Amino acid sequence: MTCKACTGQIGLAADWRPHSRLRAPGSAGTAGYAASPNQKLYACSDCGTVLLKGRNTGWSLALKTA
């Protein structure tokens, strides 16, 4: 289940900072999720949700690659 902090992060613009429970970009837990070179993956240490931050697209829910 996605925690409240992650739910609130989704849809924000890219210049918003990651919430405090998000680990450093690309940490363990983000393996298997798709990101392009100008996007970063953040795993939440509370709920395990992986969020994607794109420079132009802002924050969204990351998608698993197959």
Q: Where are the beta strands (DSSP E) in 12-66?
A: 39-43, 50-54, 58-61
**Closer residue to Zn ion in complex, CB, 14/61:** 61
Two structure tokens written together for 42: 């953040």
Q: Is 12 in the site for Zn ion (CB under 5 A)?
A: no
How far is residue 15 CA from its own chain's centroid?
Answer: 13
Q: Is 29 in the site for Zn ion (CB under 5 A)?
A: no
Say if CB 43 and CB 31 are below 8 A apart: no
Q: Is 44 in the site for Zn ion (CB under 5 A)?
A: yes
Q: Is 3 in the site for Zn ion (CB under 5 A)?
A: yes
Q: Is 14 in the site for Zn ion (CB under 5 A)?
A: no
| Site residues, Zn ion (CB under 5 A) | 3, 6, 44, 46-47, 49
